[in-house]
């Protein structure tokens, strides 16, 4: 299954991506964790030290030049570059969390880097390689792929978005956050990604049931409560894993419910 995760900055989408990836890996799945957010914090959230983080793809100038303007093409850009070897070559293995359930699968981190808009200096080559690699991960890989995105959906081109199984739109119970969530959901729908779940972080079931009637908010909804161990952990560590038995039980129940909801959410007819 291929899942994109988006939402307003600071609402917990990176943490939720890390928790879901860890949950799947502990149950024997191979999981690709793709960091496509400008904050580039998924690796640390997943227990990797900063010095161990792989270099973002968009900063690998020689590789970008080699794949996008290969020798023998007269300097012309190749918009369909060879990328199938890059995930293994550019990724890092994420460590096992301190969990009561040992990790029977594997999780790997691939850091994309920011997608740069035209007009801020030409980043055509890096954008082309980034989009090609993301499309490869979504269209051709048969493992789980979790993509931690920015608030927008610019990383997902129309063809790629049509093959993502689901979008998790993460929000906190605040009007500004929910308005961003509604806009993200609308943009994703315009790209053809209509299989969406709203995750309300640091919230109660009562808040989920009484959300304001904002147009565009996904109809499928789940909540995740505020976690005291996480607030304590964030004072001294970037990792969101290994929060203790009670927090782990809460997170595992959330991940299981989320997967049940995703599996039961049929893709709408075109």
Domains and CATH numbers, the chain: 2-264 (3.40.50.300)
**pLDDT value, residue 116:** 55
Residues with Cβ within 8 Å of 85's Cβ and at least 6 positions away in sequence, in order, are none
Quick one: angle between helices 13-26 and 245-264, nearest 10? 90
Which DSSP letter does residue 6 get? E
Spatial separation of the C-alpha atoms in residues 258 and 89, rounded to whole Å: 31
- The Cα 117–Cα 182 span in angstroms is 22
Residues in the chain predicted with pLDDT less than 50, given as ranges, are: 117-122, 266-270
Give the pLDDT confidence score for residue 122 in this predicted structure.
Answer: 47
Contact (CB, 8 A) for 54 and 34: no
For residues 63 and 125, the answer to whether their CB atoms sit within 8 Å is no
pLDDT in tens, 209-253: 999 999 999 999 999 999 999 999 988 899 999 999 999 999 999
Parallel, antiparallel or unpaired: strands 106-111 and 92-93? antiparallel
Question: Rounded to the nearest 5°, which phi and psi values hold at 53?
Answer: -65, 135
> Token pair for residue 179?
């308005």
CA dist., res. 11 & res. 172, Å (int): 6
Structure tokens at 162: 């049509």
Q: Which residues of 14-44 are buried (b: 16+ CB within 10 A; e: fewer)?
A: bbbbbbbbbbbbbbebebbbbbbbeebbbbb
Distance, in Å, from the CA atom of 167 to the CA atom of 34, rounded to the nearest integer, reads 14
The pLDDT, as a whole number, for residue 265 is 53
Q: Would you say how long the chain is, in residues? A: 270
pLDDT for 182: 95
Give dist(CA 135, CA 170) in Å, integer: 23
d(CA 160, CA 136): 9
So what's the pLDDT on residue 29? 96
Q: Rounded to an integer, what distance in angstroms lies between the CA atom of residue 30 and that of residue 107? A: 6
User: Against a cut of 0.85, is the pTM above it?
Assistant: yes
Task: Report the pLDDT value the prediction gives residue 115, as an integer from 0 to 100.
Answer: 61
Contact assessment for residue 252 and residue 100, using Cβ atoms and an 8 Å cutoff:
no
Distance CA 85, CA 108 (A): 14
Three-state secondary-structure class, residue 171: strand
């Amino acid at each position: 299954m291929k899942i994109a995760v988006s939402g307003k900055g600071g609402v917990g989408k990176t943490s939720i991506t890390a928790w879901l990836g860890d949950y799947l890996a502990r149950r024997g799945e191979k999981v690709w964790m793709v960091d496509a957010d400008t904050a580039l914090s998924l690796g640390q959230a997943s227990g990797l030290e900063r010095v161990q983080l792989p270099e973002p793809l968009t900063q690998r100038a020689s590789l970008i030049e080699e794949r996008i303007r290969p020798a023998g093409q007269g300097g012309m850009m190749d918009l369909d570059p060879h990328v199938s070897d890059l995930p293994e070559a550019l990724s890092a293995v994420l460590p096992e969390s301190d969990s009561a359930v040992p990790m029977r699968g594997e999780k790997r981190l691939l850091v994309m880097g920011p997608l740069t808009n035209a007009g801020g200096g030409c980043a055509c080559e890096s954008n082309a390689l980034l989009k090609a690699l993301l499309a490869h991960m979504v269209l051709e890989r048969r493992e789980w792929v979790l993509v931690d995105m920015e608030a927008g959906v610019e990383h997902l081109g129309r063809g790629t978005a049509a093959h993502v199984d689901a979008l998790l739109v993460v929000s906190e119970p605040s009007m500004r956050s929910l308005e961003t969530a509604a806009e993200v959901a609308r943009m994703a729908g315009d790209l053809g990604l209509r299989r969406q779940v709203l995750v309300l972080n640091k919230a109660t079931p009562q808040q989920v049931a009484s959300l304001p009637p904002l147009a565009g908010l996904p109809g499928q909804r789940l909540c995740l409560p505020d976690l005291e161990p996480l607030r304590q952990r964030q004072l001294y560590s970037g990792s969101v894993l290994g929060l203790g038995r009670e927090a782990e039980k809460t997170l595992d129940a959330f991940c299981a419910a989320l997967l049940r909801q995703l599996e039961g959410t049929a893709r709408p007819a075109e």
